[in-house]
């Protein structure tokens, strides 16, 4: 392989490079996990996930502000993060959805059996979500590292 071929495969992206190596169809998002292509149980779309995150963060900020409004504490954003993480742990660990996810028709389920995510896996997911970076790195099924490491997937309900 000369340099032009190597640079050409790099510029065209990983999907084109994989296809050049003989890898066939990648399939739809969630196919490798045994999920349907669309409808209930399919991979949650990114727009709804961001919308749910926005709703949950706004709710957390409102709760943190309400709890600290009478006090002389100026770091409400830090408390909003604490409220967000506690809310995420409690709601995903018990009912499988944060308030934002519930409003937008999403649920966090276990990849192993596609049932409710056990509390200890929800705790791992929440800690990694609090670090932010794992949630920003996705695989081809739109699962962040926080979902992959906790054995979770976000699906439509």
Q: How far apart are alpha carbons 43 and 136 in whole angstroms?
A: 17
- Per-residue pLDDT of 77-136, as tens digits, reads 688 899 999 999 999 999 999 999 999 999 999 998 768 899 999 999 999 998 888 888
Ranked by mean pLDDT, which of 68-72, 103-107, 151-155 comes out on top?
103-107
Q: How far apart are alpha carbons 156 and 136 in whole angstroms?
A: 20
Counting DSSP H helices and E strands in the chain, the numbers are: 8, 2
Would you give the end-to-end CA distance of the chain in angstroms? 48
Give the pLDDT score at 22. 54
Structure tokens at 99: 């308030």
Q: How far apart are alpha carbons 94 and 65 in whole angstroms?
A: 25
Q: Any idea how long the chain is?
A: 157
Q: How far apart are alpha carbons 143 and 49 in whole angstroms?
A: 11
Q: What pTM was computed for the model?
A: 0.77
Give the pLDDT score at 51. 96
């Amino acid at each position: 392989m000369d340099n032009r071929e190597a640079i050409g495969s790099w510029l065209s992206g990983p999907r084109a490079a994989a296809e050049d190596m003989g890898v066939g169809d990648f399939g739809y998002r969630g196919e490798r996990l045994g999920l349907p292509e669309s409808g209930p149980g399919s991979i949650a779309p990114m727009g709804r996930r961001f919308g749910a995150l926005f709703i949950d963060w706004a709710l957390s900020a409102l709760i943190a502000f309400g709890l600290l409004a009478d006090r002389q504490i100026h770091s409400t954003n830090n408390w909003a993060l604490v409220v967000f993480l506690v809310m995420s742990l409690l709601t995903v660990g018990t009912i499988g959805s944060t308030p934002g996810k519930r409003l937008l028709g999403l649920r966090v389920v276990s990849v192993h059996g596609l049932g409710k995510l056990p509390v200890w896996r929800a705790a791992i997911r929440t800690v990694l979500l609090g670090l932010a970076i794992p949630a920003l790195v996705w695989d081809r099924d739109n699962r962040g590292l926080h979902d992959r490491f906790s054995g979770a997937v976000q699906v439509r309900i």
